[in-house]
Structure 1
Amino acid sequence: MGQLERPAGLHRFRNNDKAIAIGNTFWEETARNGLSGIVANLAEGGYLQTQEGHRFLNFSCCSYLDFDTHPGIIQGAIRALEKYGVMDHCISRIRIQIPALLELENRLSSLFRANVITAISASAATAGVLPLLASGHFSGNRKPVMVFDKNAHFSMNLYKPVCGDETEVLTSPHNDMNYLEDVCRKYEHVAYVCDGTYSMGGHAPVEDLLMLQDKYGMFIYFDDSHSLSIMGEKGEGYIRSSIPGDLNELTIIVATLNKAYGSSGGCIMFGPKGRDVALLLERFGGPLAWSQPMNVAAIGASLAAADIHDSPELKRRQDKLKRHIDLFDARVASEQQGNGFPIKLVSASNDKVMAAGQHLYENGFYVSPVFFPIVPRDQAGLRVMLRAGVEESEILRLSQLLLDFGLN
Structure 2
Amino acid sequence: MTGERKRITPTHRYRNNDKLVGVGNAFWNSSEEHGVAGIVGDLTDGVFHMADGHEFVNFTVCSYLDLDTHPKVIDGAVDSLRRFGVLDHCIPRTRVQTRVLLELEESLGELFGATVISAISTAAASTGLLPLIASGHLGDGTRPLMVFDKNAHVSLGNTKPTCADETEVVTCRHHDLDFLEDMCRTYERVCYVVDGSDSLGGYAPVEELAALQDKYNMLVFYDDSHSLSAYGERGIGYVRSHSPVLDERTITVATLTKGFGAGGTAILLDGYPHATRRLIERFAGPLGYSQKMNAAAVGAALASAEIHRTEELDRLQGKLRANIALFDSLLQTEQAGSTYPIRLVPMSDDTVVDAAQRVFRAGFYTSPVFFPIVARGTAGLRVMLRAGQSAEQITRLCAVLVEAGARPAGIAA
Q: TM-score under structure 2 normalisation?
A: 0.96
The reply to whether residue 64 of structure 1 matches residue 60 of structure 2 is no
1:4 aligns with 6
1:328-407 maps to which residues of 2 (within 5 A)? 328-407=327-406
Give the conservation status (yes or no) of the 8 Å contact 1:89–1:292: no
Matched, 1:43 2:44: yes
Match of 2:122 in 1: 122
Size of the aligned set, in residue pairs, is 405
Aligned with 1:339: secondary structure? coil
What letter corresponds to residue 111 of structure 1 in structure 2?
A: L
In the aligned structure 2, how far is the partner of 1:242 from the partner of 1:21? 40
| Matched-pair contact (CA < 8 Å) for 2:349–2:370 | yes
Report what 2:31 is aligned to.
Answer: 30
What amino acid maps onto 1:169 in structure 2? V
Matched letter for residue 300 of structure 2? A
Shift of 1:311: 0.8
Q: Does 1:145 align with 2:154?
A: no
Amino acid at match of 2:251: I
Matching residue's letter, 1:229: S
Once the two structures are superposed, residues 10-34 of structure 1 have per-residue CA deviations (whole angstroms, 9 ceiling, x without a partner) of 2100111221111111111001100
Aligned positions of 1:212-361 closer than 5 A: 212-244=212-244, 247-273=246-272, 275-361=274-360
CA 1:394–1:226 in structure 2 vs 1: closer, same or farther (change >3 Å)? Answer: same
One-letter identity of the residue aligned with 1:14: R
For residue 330 of structure 1, report the CA deviation from its aligned partner: 1.5
Q: How many Å separate the matches in 2 of 1:76 and 1:52?
A: 34
Report 1:96-115 matches (<5 A): 96-115=96-115
Does the Cα contact within 8 Å between 1:134 and 1:145 map onto a contact in 2? yes
> CA offset at residue 186 of structure 1?
1.0
Whole-angstrom CA distance in 1 between matches of 2:69 and 2:100: 22
Cα displacement (A) at 1:403: 1.7
Deviation digits for residues 146-187 of structure 1 (CA, Å, limit 9, x no counterpart): 000000000000000000000000000001111111111111
Secondary structure at 2:193 match in 1: strand
User: Does 345-354 or 259-268 show the bigger shift?
Assistant: 345-354
Residues 146, 170 of structure 2: 8 Å contact kept: yes
Q: Is the 8 A contact 2:359 2:404 kept in 1?
A: no
Change (3 A) 1:274 1:391: farther
Q: Which whole-Å CA distance do the structure 1 matches of 2:259 and 2:202 have between them?
A: 17
Q: AA paired with 1:270? A: L
User: How far apart are the structure 1 equivalents of 2:204 and 2:274?
Assistant: 27
- Secondary structure at the residue paired with 1:170? strand
Q: Name the amino acid aligned to 2:6.
A: L
Distance between the aligned counterparts of 1:296 and 1:124, measured in 2?
A: 18
CA shift for structure 1 position 113: 1.0
Aligned partner of 1:70: which letter? H
Whether 1:89 aligns to 2:101 is no
Q: Specify every segment of 5 or more residues in structure 1 that has no aligned partner in the other structure, as ranges.
A: none
Offset of residue 6 of structure 1: 4.4
Counterparts of 1:277 and 1:388, CA distance in 2: 38
The 1:272–1:150 alpha-carbon spacing in structure 2 relative to 1, beyond 3 Å, is: same
Instruction: Find the aligned partners of 1:342 and 1:170 in 2 and give their Cα distance.
Output: 30
Residues 168 and 404 of structure 1, relative CA distance in 2, 3 Å threshold: same
Which SS does the other structure have where 2:292 is aligned? coil
Q: Deviations over 1:12-60 (max 9, x none)?
A: 001112211111111110011001111100123x111101111111011
- Deviation of 1:406 after TM superposition, in Å, equals 2.5
Q: Distance in 1 between matches of 2:219 and 2:241?
A: 18
State the 1:5 CA deviation. 5.9
Q: Deviations over 1:270-314 (max 9, x none)?
A: 003253321111110101112332101111111111100111111
2:196 counterpart letter in structure 1: G
SS in 1 for 2:235: coil
State the Cα deviation string for residues 227-286 of structure 1 (Å, max 9, x = none).
000011111111011134x72111100000000100000010000325332111111010
Letter in 2 for 1:4: K
Secondary structure class of the residue paired with 1:330: helix
Q: Classify the secondary structure of the residue corresponding to 1:344.
A: strand
- Which residue number in structure 1 is paired with residue 410 of structure 2? none
Unaligned runs of 5+ residues in structure 2 are 408-413
Secondary structure at 2:233 match in 1 = coil
What is aligned with 2:411? none
Contact (CA 8 Å) 1:134, 1:143: kept in 2 or not? yes
Residue in 1 that maps onto 2:19: 18
* 1:330 counterpart letter in structure 2: S
Greater shift in the superposed pair: 396-405 or 69-78: 396-405
Q: Distance in 2 between matches of 1:235 and 1:278?
A: 24
Instruction: Write the distance in 2 (CA, Å) between the matches of 1:387 and 1:213.
Output: 34
Determine the C-alpha separation between the residues in 2 that align with 1:219 and 1:230: 25
Kept in 2, the 8 Å contact 1:367–1:382? The answer is yes
Structure 1 residues 178 and 361: CA distance shift in structure 2, 3 A: same
Residue 389 to residue 97, structure 1, CA distance change in 2 (3 Å) = same
Contact 1:116 1:274 in 2 (8 A): no
Aligned partner of 2:206 in structure 1 is 206
